[in-house]
Amino acid sequence: MSQPRAYFVPRARVLESPEHVLSTLDSGSFDPRAEVLLEEPATDAAPAVATGAGQGQVGIVSYTPEQVVILAQSERPGFLVLTDLFYPGWHAFVNDHEVPIKRANYLFRAVVLDPGTSTVRFEYRPGSFRLGLAVSATTALLITAAAWWTWRHAAVTMGRQR
């Protein structure tokens, strides 16, 4: 059964390993429209898990390679599932407050939603980009300092020769 790119589910089941998630997905009894499988180590605190039935509507407002904005409306708490790959560097914001992204159904991303209308924004901000920016800025600063020192040294040397 094909799933939309983003959808709401009212329930979650927390499993402690990727193997458990895969075996549950393969069991034939799993309904991705009714619940989401979250992978959390047994030692971590369990996330807020909604129970029961509930409807939610989800619409993608904008979608670019580095940002996805989704408008969600639900009567009950639940989970927004985005069927894009779970990958390090992604950050999620619900109504402009950063929230953790849960690994959902082995491959995807999910966030917890409260009842009501929510604007959910996923942004790709990899740590490697910040590291590269810091290295580039430091290199530019060192090159500028070396050029200034060379210019200053040349100016002093030329002043002595006169």
pLDDT digits (tens, 9 = 90+) for 113-141: 999 999 999 999 987 666 666 678 778 88
* Distance separating alpha carbons of residues 74 and 56, to the nearest angstrom: 4
Together in a domain, 68 and 34: yes
> Is 1 within the bounds of a domain?
no
Instruction: Tell me which of 143 and 86 has the higher pLDDT.
Output: 86
Query: Are 162 and 109 members of one domain?
Result: no
My answer on whether 81 and 153 are in the same domain is: no
91: domain CATH number is 2.60.40
For residue 106, tell me if it sits in a domain.
Answer: yes
If asked whether residues 82 and 98 sit together in one domain, one would say: yes
Residue 81 sits in the same domain as residue 137: no
46 pLDDT above the threshold of 50:
no
Q: 90 and 142 share a domain?
A: no
Same domain, 100 and 147: no
pLDDT at 44: 41
Task: Name every residue whose Cβ is closer than 8 Å to that of residue 117 and which is 6 or more positions away in sequence.
Answer: 71, 72, 73
Which DSSP state fits 19? H
Least confident of 41-50, 108-117, 142-151: 41-50
Domain holding 138, by residue range, is 127-162
Exposure pattern of 128-158 as b/e (b: 16+ CB <10 Å)? eeeeeeeeeeeeeeeeeeeeeeeeeeeeeee
pLDDT for position 159: 67
| Same domain, yes or no: 111 and 146 | no
Residue 74 shares a structural domain with residue 91? yes
Cα distance between residue 66 and residue 62, in whole Å? 11
E strand or H helix that includes residue 145 = helix 127-161
Rounded mean pLDDT, 139-156: 80
> Looking at the 3D structure of the chain, how many domains does it have?
2
Shared-domain flag, residues 36 and 82? yes
Q: Which pLDDT tens digit goes with each residue over 47-61? A: 445 555 567 899 999
**Residues of the chain above pLDDT 70, percent:** 83
Better-scored residue on pLDDT, 29 or 114: 114
Q: Is residue 60 part of a domain?
A: yes
Q: How does strand 116-124 pair with strand 11-15?
A: unpaired
- Does residue 61 share a domain with residue 117? yes
